[in-house]
């Protein structure tokens, strides 16, 4: 079953993968600028992760979620150590959507309130509960039923297309002017749920934007749920993206690379005040699998020991300079925070008119044919998402950018 439509050439059936390169069954190599869908932050099949998972295979694989394993406890301790002091405990489940559902339950149980605000353009998963806090109409319609009325959106910070015509420097966070009134009109609001930086399109708000949101929510006594499923584990040049803004949320969720790429593992972490009021509704059979936990911990230690988070920062800067240096008329915006990257393609740089679907598909196909694995997303479907393993080198980035130059020029000739 192929639950979405693929451009030509997909899907790639991978026979083996190493660091930033995956090789398909025909022997063709691809530079993986998706890190296996933003999971393999330390690179594919890192020997230390493989070793940790292999060791664990001989010790214990799985126990009831009512008990625990040494591997899961170690991972929990490490995470609590890395997260802000507002977070004391971790609960493991199997995927980011599930982790967010638990976060919603926790926030509702802790506050006795039912409404949750989330950001425009947000993606927090596709299960029925997490769809309630995912903005895309297309995805919401996939539920096949009306979703509840307990969730509602607040403005996000899409600074390249600022509705007030400001730049990040001139920004006075005018987009947030109506937020207090909106929250006041929903007194049954338990929490605000947001990614620190929206992964879909790489939208990093200016610091003052987050400061104001954080102040408003504190004044109203709302919980803050931070979704680090995609931004966490070094992706943005910090272990967690909330560090860029000094946020101290009551609840943090995570997933993707948390398993080290071995199976699937997600977390819902919270502070004591929330945890003590949490009466449950959480017994995922495979949550906190020991092999995934051992691999995830090995990945965290690898990111730290091999300075991959520093590399993410440096390579994000290199990427930004290299793409701008193309001076391509279709490159409207280049936004990297660490290696959470987006290149927004436009037909006209002055008007910011979105590049047409046909051209975008041709760019993606051209890159694919050239051995570059990327995904495309964004509010208008015109953002090339560039999120390679954090071990990527400047030479590999240069190879990608040379390919991008060639493909953009070729597509311009043909459409
Ligand atoms: C920010 C964010 N939250 C939640 C999810 C859902 O995670 P999963 O696909 O593991 O359910 C994703 C997945 O892409 C995500 O990017």
Q: Does 279 fall in a domain?
A: yes
How confident is residue 33, by pLDDT bands cut at 50, 70 and 90? very high
**CATH number reported for the structural domain that contains residue 36 in this entry:** 3.90.1150.10
Give yes or no: residues 316 and 392 share one domain.
yes
How confident is residue 3, by pLDDT bands cut at 50, 70 and 90? low
Give yes or no: residues 272 and 231 share one domain.
yes
Three-point CA angle 226, 275, 151, nearest 5°: 45
Contacts of 291 (CB under 8 A, 6+ apart): 53, 56, 57, 61, 71, 262, 263
125 Cβ inside 6 Å of ligand 1: yes
**CATH number reported for the structural domain that contains residue 93 in this entry:** 3.40.640.10
Nearest CA to ligand 1 atom 16: 230
Quote the domain boundaries for residue 157. 48-305
Q: Which regions of 41-149 does DSSP assign to beta strands (E)?
A: 89-93, 115-119
Give yes or no: residues 398 and 288 share one domain.
no
Give yes or no: residues 345 and 287 share one domain.
no
Tell me how far CA of residue 346 lies from CA of 137, 161, 211, in angstroms.
23, 12, 31
Burial environment of residue 14 by CB neighbours within 10 A (0 to 12, 13 to 18, 19 or more): middle
Closest ligand 1 atom to residue 97 Cα is 11
Q: Does 381 fall in a domain?
A: yes
Give yes or no: residues 269 and 170 share one domain.
yes
Residue 199 Cα to ligand 1 midpoint, Å, equals 10
Residue 11, preceding bond cis, omega within 30 degrees? yes
Give yes or no: residues 240 and 328 share one domain.
no
How confident is residue 287, by pLDDT bands cut at 50, 70 and 90? confident
pLDDT given for residue 7 in this prediction: 59
Can you read off the two tokens belonging to residue 33?
């600028």
Nearest CA to ligand 1 atom 7: 96
Three-point CA angle 225, 237, 291, nearest 5°: 70
Q: Does 187 fall in a domain?
A: yes
Q: Does 161 fall in a domain?
A: yes
| 3-class secondary structure, 112 | coil
Q: In this predicted model, what pLDDT tens digit does every residue of 71-106 receive, in sequence order?
A: 999 999 999 999 999 999 999 999 999 999 999 999
pLDDT given for residue 168 in this prediction: 82
Q: In this predicted model, what pLDDT tens digit does every residue of 229-264 receive, in sequence order?
A: 999 999 999 999 999 999 999 999 999 999 999 999
Using a cut of 0.85, tell me whether the model's pTM lies above it: yes
Percent of the chain surpassing pLDDT 90: 90
In this predicted structure, which of 142-146, 281-285, 387-391 has the lowest mean pLDDT? 281-285
The answer to whether the CB of 291 falls within 8 A of the CB of 261 is no
Mean pLDDT of 312-319: 98
Mean pLDDT of 300-310: 98
124 Cβ inside 6 Å of ligand 1: yes
Q: Is 54 left (phi over 0), alpha (psi -120 to 50) or beta?
A: alpha
Q: Does 9 fall in a domain?
A: no
Q: In this predicted model, what pLDDT tens digit does every residue of 50-61 receive, in sequence order?
A: 999 999 999 998
Mean pLDDT, the chain, rounded, equals 95
Give yes or no: residues 356 and 208 share one domain.
no
Task: Compare 115 and 201 and report the one with higher pLDDT.
Answer: 115
pLDDT given for residue 145 in this prediction: 87
Q: Does 152 fall in a domain?
A: yes
Q: Does 8 fall in a domain?
A: no
How many independent structural domains does the chain possess?
2
The answer to whether the CB of 247 falls within 8 A of the CB of 78 is no
Residues 291, 186: Cα–Cα separation, whole Å: 43
Residues 313, 356: Cα–Cα separation, whole Å: 31
Q: Does 2 fall in a domain?
A: no
The answer to whether the CB of 371 falls within 8 A of the CB of 29 is yes
Give yes or no: residues 258 and 367 share one domain.
no
Residue 253 Cα to ligand 1 midpoint, Å, equals 10
Give yes or no: residues 123 and 217 share one domain.
yes
The answer to whether the CB of 255 falls within 8 A of the CB of 96 is yes
Mutate which of 241, 255, 258, 387 for ligand 1? The one with the most ligand atoms within 8 Å of its CB, which is 255
pLDDT given for residue 6 in this prediction: 59
Give yes or no: residues 88 and 233 share one domain.
yes
Residue 107 Cα to ligand 1 midpoint, Å, equals 19
pLDDT given for residue 4 in this prediction: 64
**Domain boundary, last residue among 255, 270, 305:** 305
Give yes or no: residues 79 and 173 share one domain.
yes
| 3-class secondary structure, 77 | helix
**Domain boundary, last residue among 261, 283, 305:** 305
Residue 373 has pLDDT above 70, yes or no: yes
Residue 34 has pLDDT above 90, yes or no: yes
Mean pLDDT of 17-34: 97
Residue 150 has pLDDT above 90, yes or no: yes
**Domain boundary, last residue among 286, 305, 324:** 305
Mean pLDDT of 35-42: 96
Mutate which of 104, 118, 229 for ligand 1? The one with the most ligand atoms within 8 Å of its CB, which is 229
Residue 328 Cα to ligand 1 midpoint, Å, equals 32
The answer to whether the CB of 251 falls within 8 A of the CB of 269 is yes
Q: In degrees rounded to 5, what are phi and psi of residue 385?
A: -90, 125
In this predicted structure, which of 5-9, 12-16, 269-273 has the lowest mean pLDDT? 5-9
Closest ligand 1 atom to residue 255 Cα is 10
Residues 205, 194: Cα–Cα separation, whole Å: 12
Give yes or no: residues 37 and 184 share one domain.
no
pLDDT given for residue 62 in this prediction: 84
pLDDT given for residue 11 in this prediction: 83
How confident is residue 280, by pLDDT bands cut at 50, 70 and 90? confident
Mean pLDDT of 134-145: 92
């Amino acid at each position: 079953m192929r639950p979405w439509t693929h451009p030509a050439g997909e899907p790639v059936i991978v026979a083996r993968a190493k660091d930033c390169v995956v090789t398909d069954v025909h022997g063709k190599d691809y530079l993986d600028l998706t890190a296996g869908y933003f999971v393999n932050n330390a690179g594919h099949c890192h020997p230390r992760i493989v070793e940790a998972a292999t060791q664990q295979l001989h010790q214990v694989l799985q126990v009831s979620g009512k008990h625990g394993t040494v591997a899961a406890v170690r991972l929990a301790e490490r995470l609590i150590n890395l997260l802000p002091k507002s977070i004391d405990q971790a609960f493991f489940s199997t995927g980011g959507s599930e982790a967010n559902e638990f976060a919603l339950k926790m926030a509702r149980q802790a506050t006795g309130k039912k409404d949750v605000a989330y950001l425009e353009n947000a993606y927090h998963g596709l299960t029925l509960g997490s769809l309630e806090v995912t903005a895309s109409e297309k995805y919401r319609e996939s539920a096949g039923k009306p979703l509840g009325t307990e969730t509602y959106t607040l403005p996000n910070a899409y600074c390249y297309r600022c509705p007030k015509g400001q730049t990040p420097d001139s920004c006075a966070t005018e987009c947030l002017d109506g937020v207090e009134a909106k929250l006041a009109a929903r007194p049954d609001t338990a929490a605000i749920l947001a990614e620190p930086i929206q992964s879909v399109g790489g939208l990093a708000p200016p610091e003052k934007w987050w400061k104001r949101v954080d102040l408003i929510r504190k004044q109203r006594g709302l919980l803050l749920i931070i979704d680090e499923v995609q931004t966490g584990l070094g992706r943005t040049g910090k272990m967690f993206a909330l560090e860029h803004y000094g946020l101290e949320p009551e609840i943090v969720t995570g997933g993707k690379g948390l398993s080290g790429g071995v199976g699937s593992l997600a977390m819902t972490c919270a502070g004591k005040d929330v945890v003590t009021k949490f009466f449950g509704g959480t017994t995922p059979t495979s949550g906190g699998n020991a092999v995934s936990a051992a691999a995830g911990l090995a990945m965290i230690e690898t990111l730290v020991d091999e300075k991959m988070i520093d590399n993410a920062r440096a390579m994000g800067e290199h990427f930004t300079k290299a793409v701008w240096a193309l001076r391509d008329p279709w490159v409207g915006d280049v936004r990297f925070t660490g290696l959470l990257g987006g290149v927004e393609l436009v037909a006209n740089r002055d008007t910011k008119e979105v590049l047409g679907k046909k051209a975008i598909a041709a760019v993606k196909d051209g890159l694919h044919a050239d051995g570059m694995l990327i995904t495309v997303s964004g509010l208008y479907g015109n953002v090339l998402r560039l999120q390679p393993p954090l071990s990527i080198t400047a030479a590999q980035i240069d190879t990608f950018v040379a390919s991008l130059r060639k493909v953009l020029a070729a597509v311009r000739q043909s459409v």
